[in-house]
A and B are shown apart, each in its own frame.
Chain A
Amino acid sequence: AIQMTQSPSSLSASVGDRVTITCRASQGIRNDLGWYQQKPGKAPKLLIYAASSLQSGVPSRFSGSGSGTDFTLTISSLQPEDFATYYCLQDYNYPVTFGPGTKVDIK
């Protein structure tokens, strides 16, 4: 199975900060990667699919990039509602695998 790693595992940031989260796959996955946001007690929500395509309704401050094994989620200007845990997911093949998550909290 393809292993997914994320860094950092957690970060503290302030409103207005630019935040970058990295996801790495153990083998090439083309651009078959999604990013999800999860708030406590809620289901995950799709932000980015196909590595860089913004899901409908998601604010444009979220962006994704990368291909192959290295991917990045960027929040250009962190807003109060963005404090959450973020997961990457490779859907290149089954078993699909999630990264371990990055918790973004308030500095």
Chain B
Amino acid sequence: EVQLVESGGGLVQPGGSLRLSCAASGFTFSSYEMNWVRQAPGKGLEWVSYISSSGSTIYYADSVKGRFTISRDNAKNSLYLQMNSLRAEDTAVYYCARDGRFDPWGQGTLVTVSS
């Protein structure tokens, strides 16, 4: 079964950092592009970042550029999102999703930025 499982969310103060992980199983992770998408409480979906299968191509939403870093470890079947200089508006459930079809999605991990 193809599965994505996020972890690493939690409560962090403004200006703080957090690292999210997404563990993949049931497919050849190294062959697939990956994305991070977030959803603020009661709001719609917002794409955050993309990484190619090899990690050589990366894109970010303007809202996180310069603060967030996407990476992957194909040997560990894992995707990461390093989030620095966090702001209240970064509060959201963060999902990882596979390739350009965004299928499947993980269950999400909640990041709360608050003092």
Number of residues in B with C-beta < 8 Å to the partner?
19
CA distance A46 to B95 in the complex (A): 14
Q: Decide if B61 touches A89 in the complex (CB within 8 Å).
A: no
A39 within 8 A of B: no
Number of residues in A with C-beta < 8 Å to the partner?
21
A98 within 8 A of B: yes
Q: Decide if A46 touches B102 in the complex (CB within 8 Å).
A: yes
Q: Decide if B44 touches A45 in the complex (CB within 8 Å).
A: no
B100 within 8 A of A: yes
Q: Which residue of A lies closest to B58 (CB)?
A: A94
CA distance A91 to B98 in the complex (A): 13
Chain A nearest CB, measured from B72 CB (Å):
17
Partner of A91, one of B62, B101, B106, B107: B101
Q: Decide if B47 touches A97 in the complex (CB within 8 Å).
A: yes
Which positions in B face A, CB cutoff 8 Å? Answer: 35, 44-47, 50, 59, 61-62, 95, 100-108
Which positions in A face B, CB cutoff 8 Å? Answer: 34, 36, 38, 42-46, 49, 55, 87, 89, 91, 94-101
